[in-house]
Amino acid sequence: MHTLQQIVYTGTATATGGREGTAKSSDGKLELGLSTPKELGGAGGQGTNPEQMFAAGYSACFIGALKHVAASQKIKLSDDISVTGDVSIGPIEQGFAIAVKLIVDLGDVESDKAQALVDAAHQVCPYSNATRGNIEVEIALA
């Protein structure tokens, strides 16, 4: 377990109604309708779901970690680098679990340097630190 040395920021959101409800941040910047995908027995409505939100959050956070590591190594990354997150859900012995795959596109960064950046970012990314040892996480270069 990691203990924060200092709290720098806290994001707060409240979900109501579960997978068929809504989610809203305390500052009002995020307000989403939720719906259960057909694959999970839902109607597949127009709302998003926890897996998509986790995929977006992890992807964005991982880009931040990549930029942090690159800056510390004096490497300039393109503004259009991207990370695509796949968050899968399925049954385990007792309940359900998720697994993550991140596909990292660093553009024209040579593959050896790109892999080293990805490996270093995976060590500092808050989502990576939160999930390490708890769920399967695969990270691949595009």
pLDDT at residue 5 greater than cutoff 90: yes
Q: What is the pLDDT of residues 109-125, one digit of tens each?
A: 999 999 999 999 999 99
* Structure confidence at residue 141 (pLDDT): 98
Which tops the pLDDT comparison, 130 or 2? Answer: 130
81 in Cβ contact with 63 (< 8 Å): yes
How confident is the model over 59-99, as pLDDT tens digits? 999 999 999 999 999 999 999 999 999 999 999 999 999 99
Instruction: Delineate the domains of the chain, giving CATH numbers in brackets.
Output: 1-48 (2.20.25.10), 49-141 (3.30.300.20)
Crossing angle of the two packed helices 111-124 and 50-72, in degrees rounded to 10: 110
- Coil/strand/helix, residue 28: coil
Which of helix, strand or coil describes residue 20?
Answer: helix
Q: What is the per-residue pLDDT for 66?
A: 98
DSSP state of 39: G
Q: What percent of the chain has pLDDT over 90?
A: 98
Q: What is the pLDDT of residue 2?
A: 85
pTM score of the predicted model: 0.95
Mean pLDDT of all residues in 49-55 = 98
| Res 114: pLDDT | 97
State percent of the chain over pLDDT 70.
Answer: 100
